[in-house]
Structure formats: structure tokens, C-alpha cells
Amino acid sequence: MHTRLLIHVLRQTLVLACLFSLWSGTAAAAPAIDEIQSLANAGNIQQALKKTDDLLAKDPGNIEGRFYKGLLLTRSNQLEQAEAVFNALIEDHPGLPEPYNNLAVVYAAQGKYDQARDLLSRAINTHPSYATAHENLGDIYAKMASKAYNQVLELDDDNRSAREKLSLINELFSRPEPLETVAAAQPVPVVAATRTEPAPPKAKVAEAKPPEAVAATAAAAPAVAAEQPAPGPVRDMTPTILAALNDWARAWESQDVDKYLAYYASSFVPDDGMTRSQWRAQRQKRLSRPGFIKIGISSPEVTMHGDSHAEVEFTQSYQSDTYSDRVRKQILFSYENNRWLIAEERSN
């Protein structure tokens, strides 16, 4: 991606904020919510999903549980299921802006920018002071413009005007943050819906005014966090991860298509709505066509998400005989088959 997107899903790295809570058995469900949070913080997304399903089996209307399910599904790239969860929340609670915003993030992760734009507009119509939706809407427009200019350059590589405009967008978003996803729950760092904090994708804590009928839960929720066992120390694999990052860049630079593609995990999902086969064909073409490629990596920052996931944010420069750019990129690495492989990739 070429602007501030999660996915996450749109990256997306999610630091979730306690913006509001609705009465739906919340006090009784607080211990279960705390357990879901602990599992999510440790990167145990599938276990957190199971606990969420257990909670909703007993209390189907629990809004915190429903939000967590949508966010965890987004984190695990089950975007169609996440879409269904947030659509149901919108149908049941049309006056809340957060479901519109979160569904927009899911659509953006699928490259459905028109739908994402419309949902963010609905969120703003619901609550005009909802700053998160306003900023996300601006990012969607920037992404749509970036995509359009890239398409122009695909058709006309000598179009100087389109190249200058694309360069301006890249410069404006040289140090972006992903689309913000928010939840009706306690702050949950979720790995990519997640830092011993969450992955992927860093999201800002949004400040949105809750509906009048909503009561804050910070004081009401039982303080059970102290009873949870402290997570063990996370191994710092920074040198190994940076070595994998540099090897990936060298494979790209040497235009070794097979070696380059081997750095992507089997779970990797391309952005812009492409299938895996379409993405592979596109990458093969873009690696093979230039006369030369030079890749520069600077200012890499590694954040561990448990022992098997890590997010790397860095500035990437690209130069070939036909094109050059400079973007801020986020890559989520997953440890699979004794290797660090790319599970998610976002550029802005």
C-alpha cells in the first residue's frame, strides 16, 4: 500500500483504545474479556478467538465480545468473517460510529476503497466530531489518488505530471501510521489485530465521544489483571530479523525472482485485492523488466510480538532505470519452518 493503511489489516498492528462500553452483561463478562486481552497481547489470536466465541455463546449480545471478535478476525486475515461481525454491529447499533470505522478498515485491507470511503462518511454523519473517521477518510482519499497515479505510470511511464503528484503523496506520508481501528473495550494491544504490545499493524489511540447512554467501564470493571500470570520474557531476535530483511532486499536487488518470492510466508495475502497468483505474476514482471534495481533500507525499527512474530518499520528507497521512489514501509515477519518470513507488507 502507498498510504496509511493496517491490515491488518491495514497493519492492520493494532493498539486498541477503550473509547466506550455498552451495557450488555459487561460487568459479568469482565473476567472473560480480561482473559481475551491477555491472550491477544501474547499473540495467541486463535485462543483469544475461541474464548470470545465461548463468551458470545453465553451472552450473544455482548458488544465488547462482538467487537473483539471482529478485531481478532481482522488480525488473522479472516476479513469476510470480520466484515460480517461489523455489519451485524452496524445493523444492531446504527447510532455508533465505531463499527462503521472498523468495517472501513476491513474494506481498505481488501482494496475496496469506495466502500471504505462511504462507511467513513457514515461514521462522520453519525458523530461529526469523530476525529478518527475524519483522518482515516483523508488517508483513503490519498490512497485512491496514489493508486490512480500508479495506474497512469503503468500506462505512460513518461508522464511527468503523474510522477510528480505521486512523489508529493509519498513525501506527505513518508512517516505514516495505519488506518485507525477502534474497539468498545479495554485497551488491547493485539498482534497484527496486532507490541508485547500488538501487530500489526501501530495505530493511534483515538479519542471519540461515546453516546450518552454509554457508561465508562474503567471504574466498574473488576481489577483482575493482577491475578493473570505474568508473560515470560520475549526473546529479542532483532539481528536475525534484520538479516532476513537485508537478504530479502538483496534478492530483490539481484532480480532473483524465485529467491525473492521464497521470503514470503504461505499465509501472506497481497494488498489491493489481488490473488496470490496475480501478485506473483506482477512481482515477477516488476523484478524482471528493469535493467537494474537498487534497494536501500534505512532506520529499521524492530518490535517483537511474542517469540514468533515481529514488526519492522523502515524507510525503503527504490531505484531502477525506469522508476524511483522512497516510502516508509512496515513488514510483519512470522517465524515458520525455522525461517523468518514475510506475513504482511505495507508501504506508504
Residues 66 and 159 in one domain: yes
Residues 180 and 45 in one domain: yes
pTM for this model (two decimals)? 0.44
pLDDT at site 36: 85
Residues 169 and 21 in one domain: yes
Q: How far apart are CA 348 and CA 326, in angstroms?
A: 9
Residues 316 and 260 in one domain: yes
CB 37 within 8 A of CB 210: no
Residues 56 and 193 in one domain: yes
pLDDT at site 347: 84
Indicate whether 74 belongs to any domain: yes
Domain count, the chain: 2
Residues 197 and 256 in one domain: no
CATH no. for residue 309? 3.10.450.50
pLDDT at site 254: 93
Taking the CA of residue 295 as centre, how many other CA atoms within 13 Å lie in the half-sphere pointing to its CB?
A: 18
Task: List average pLDDT for each run of 10 residues in the chain, which is 348 residues long.
Answer: 34 31 44 81 85 90 85 86 90 84 86 87 78 80 77 80 73 51 40 35 37 34 42 69 92 93 90 84 92 92 89 92 90 90 89
Q: How far apart are CA 48 and CA 40, in angstroms?
A: 6
Residues 208 and 309 in one domain: no
Residues 189 and 245 in one domain: no
Residues 190 and 282 in one domain: no
Indicate whether 1 belongs to any domain: no
Q: State the residue range of the domain holding 311.
A: 238-347
CA nearest to 192, candidates 72, 312, 102? 72
pLDDT at site 149: 78
CA nearest to 90, candidates 115, 122, 44, 114? 122
Residues 245 and 209 in one domain: no
Residues 189 and 309 in one domain: no
